[in-house]
């Protein structure tokens, strides 16, 4: 029987600094998204793959950060989930290669590789079937988006072969972007090894001329065993009938790590209950919401939260143990664990950043245990943990 394994790249503490200040206390993959740790969503998607033997999480966070989660999710889903710690970052493909022996333990015929911070409907079964039809080395999930924040691909419209790949281009290349979800046959390991060896040879060649070593910026930058999936594998293998693409059919799904308001994802939680809820809202059973509050659309309220009378919440994530006091307004923000929002205060960010990924602060984030005093206004700002705001701020990072 053909077995399949899935690998989810979770990164490490030195990566994901863009997720600060929320990642100070919690590794980004365990950050709650619609009531579950972020990594739970790709893991649940993997569970739906037929003949799935194991799920591996690969990263360079300390093992103890994941021990509890991994054992509880293995029990819950009745499938082995293991966290494999890299001794140092190897890159998205290098990490896969580093653990190839463990990954190939059960002799899987196919290996799924997912990026942990992707928010997606994960049509993995369809992807596997498409991949078997193309019979290439790998299939990449792509989607039509018009952001240049991601890698862009050009695919043959008929054969679906991956013809060209470029990382974060400055000019328009294609409207198809790399979703960060892949399926490979075990040949991928050979391909990764080829890249490593090639790089070593290049480095050896360069040793002959020290002048060249000084000139070329790329040769000295990456160690031999640091292999990135996108730049080092997709790009060179494009157009060689090795890689194919499958399009994500649903529109309106987001990939950026702060686009938490995917309607599908949030509808998975509890939906509308009464007149005080609008649109998709998730409320944890232990949270208390005053009947005169108006919540939504696109709001997630976590455990033990208290929402006071007359509060208005739009497009926000309220984490555990937060208290939002009477008549406060929170829009397009993330409020960190144990924070307190004072009466009549206003915490917001500019209206939905339409493709404005470059706007540094199109969202307001309050770290853990931040106190916003009564009547204070916080706009487009990031506040680090344990701060008290007693004056209004705008467009600032509060250390």
Partner 1 sequence: MKALILVGGFGTRLRPLTLSVPKPLVDFANKPMILHQIEALRAIGVTEVVLAINYQPEVMLNFLQEFEKKLGIKITCSQETEPLGTAGPIALARDKLIDGSGEPFFVLNSDVISEYPLKEMVNFHKCHGGEASIMVTKVDEPSKYGVVVMEETTGKVEKFVEKPQIFVGNKINAGIYLLNPSVLNRIELRPTSIEKEVFPKIAAENKLYAMVLPGFWMDIGQPKDYITGLRMYLESLRKKSSAKLSTGSHFVGNVLVDETAVIGDGCLIGPDVAIGPGCIIESGVRLSRCTIMRGVRIKKHTCVSNSIIGWHSTVGKWARLENMTILGEDVHLGDEVYSNGGVVLPHKEIKSSILKPEIVM
Which residues in this chain contact partner 1 in the complex, by CB under 8 A? 13-14, 17-18, 20-21, 24, 382, 384-387, 397, 399
| CB-nearer residue toward partner 1: 82 or 387 | 387
Beta strands in 243-394 (DSSP E): 243-247, 281-283, 288-289, 294-295, 299-301, 306-307, 312-314, 317-318, 323-324, 329-331, 333-335, 340-341, 346-348, 364-366, 371-372, 377-379, 382-383, 388-389, 393-394
Q: Are 376 and 392 spatial neighbours (Cβ–Cβ below 8 Å)?
A: yes
Q: What angle do CA 176, 180, 186 make, to 5 degrees?
A: 115
Question: In whole angstroms, what is the distance from residue 323 CA to residue 335 CA?
Answer: 10
Residue 382 Cβ vs partner 1, minimum distance, rounded to whole Å: 7
| CB-nearer residue toward partner 1: 32 or 385 | 385
| CB-nearer residue toward partner 1: 53 or 397 | 397
Residue 24 Cβ vs partner 1, minimum distance, rounded to whole Å: 7
Residue 388 Cβ vs partner 1, minimum distance, rounded to whole Å: 9
Residue 397 Cβ vs partner 1, minimum distance, rounded to whole Å: 4
DSSP secondary structure code for residue 229 in this structure: I
Spatial CA neighbour of 273 closest among 295, 256, 303: 295
| CB-nearer residue toward partner 1: 157 or 217 | 217
| CB-nearer residue toward partner 1: 3 or 20 | 20
Q: Hey, what are 83's tokens?
A: 């966290």
CA 85, 88, 94, 100 torsion-angle sign: negative
Q: Hey, what are 315's tokens?
A: 């497009």
- The backbone region for 344, taken as left when phi is positive above 0, alpha when psi lies in -120 to 50, beta otherwise, is left
Residue 387 Cβ vs partner 1, minimum distance, rounded to whole Å: 6
| CB-nearer residue toward partner 1: 183 or 383 | 383
Q: Hey, what are 344's tokens?
A: 């009549």
Residue 322 Cβ vs partner 1, minimum distance, rounded to whole Å: 18
Residue 347 Cβ vs partner 1, minimum distance, rounded to whole Å: 18
Report strand pairing: 371-372 vs 388-389. Answer: parallel
Residue 18 Cβ vs partner 1, minimum distance, rounded to whole Å: 7
| CB-nearer residue toward partner 1: 20 or 343 | 20
Q: Are 10 and 58 spatial neighbours (Cβ–Cβ below 8 Å)?
A: yes
| CB-nearer residue toward partner 1: 13 or 236 | 13
Q: Hey, what are 171's tokens?
A: 């000019």
């Amino acid at each position: 029987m053909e077995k399949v394994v899935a690998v989810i790249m979770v990164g490490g503490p030195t990566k994901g600094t863009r997720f600060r200040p929320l990642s100070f206390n919690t590794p980004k993959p365990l950050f709650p998204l619609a009531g579950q740790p972020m990594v739970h969503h790709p893991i649940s998607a993997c569970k739906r793959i037929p003949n799935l033997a194991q799920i591996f999480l690969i990263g360079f966070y300390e093992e103890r950060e994941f021990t509890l989660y991994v054992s509880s999710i293995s029990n819950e889903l009745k499938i082995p989930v293991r966290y494999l710690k890299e001794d140092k970052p190897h890159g998205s493909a290098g990490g896969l290669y580093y653990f190839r022996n463990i990954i190939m333990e059960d002799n899987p015929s196919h290996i799924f590789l997912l990026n942990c911070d992707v928010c997606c409907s994960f049509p993995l079964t369809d992807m596997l079937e498409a991949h078997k039809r193309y019979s290439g080395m790998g299939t990449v999930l792509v989607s039509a988006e018009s952001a240049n924040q991601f890698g862009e691909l050009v695919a043959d419209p008929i054969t679906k072969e991956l013809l060209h790949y470029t990382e974060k281009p400055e000019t328009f290349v294609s409207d198809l972007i790399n979703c960060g979800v892949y399926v490979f046959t075990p040949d991928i390991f050979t391909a990764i090894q080829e890249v490593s060896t090639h790089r070593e040879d290049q480095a050896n060649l360069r040793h002959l001329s020290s002048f060249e070593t000084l000139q070329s910026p790329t040769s000295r930058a990456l160690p031999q065993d640091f292999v990135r999936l996108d730049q080092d594998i997709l790009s060179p293998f494009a157009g060689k009938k090795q890689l194919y693409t499958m399009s994500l059919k649903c529109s309106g799904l987001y990939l950026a790590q702060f686009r938490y308001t995917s309607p599908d994802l949030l509808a998975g939680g509890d939906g509308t209950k009464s007149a005080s809820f609008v649109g998709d809202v998730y409320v944890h059973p232990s949270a208390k919401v005053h009947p005169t509050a108006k919540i939504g659309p696109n709001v997630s309220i976590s455990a033990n939260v208290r929402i006071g009378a007359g509060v208005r919440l739009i497009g926000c994530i309220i984490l555990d143990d937060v208290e939002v006091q009477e008549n406060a307004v929170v829009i397009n923000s993330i409020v960190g664990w144990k924070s307190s929002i004072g009466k009549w205060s206003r915490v917001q960010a500019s209206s939905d950043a339409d493709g404005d990924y470059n706007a540094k602060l199109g969202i307001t984030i309050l770290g853990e245990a931040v106190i916003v005093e009564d009547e204070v206004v916080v706009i487009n700002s990031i506040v680090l943990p344990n701060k008290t705001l007693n004056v209004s701020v705008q467009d600032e990072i509060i250390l």
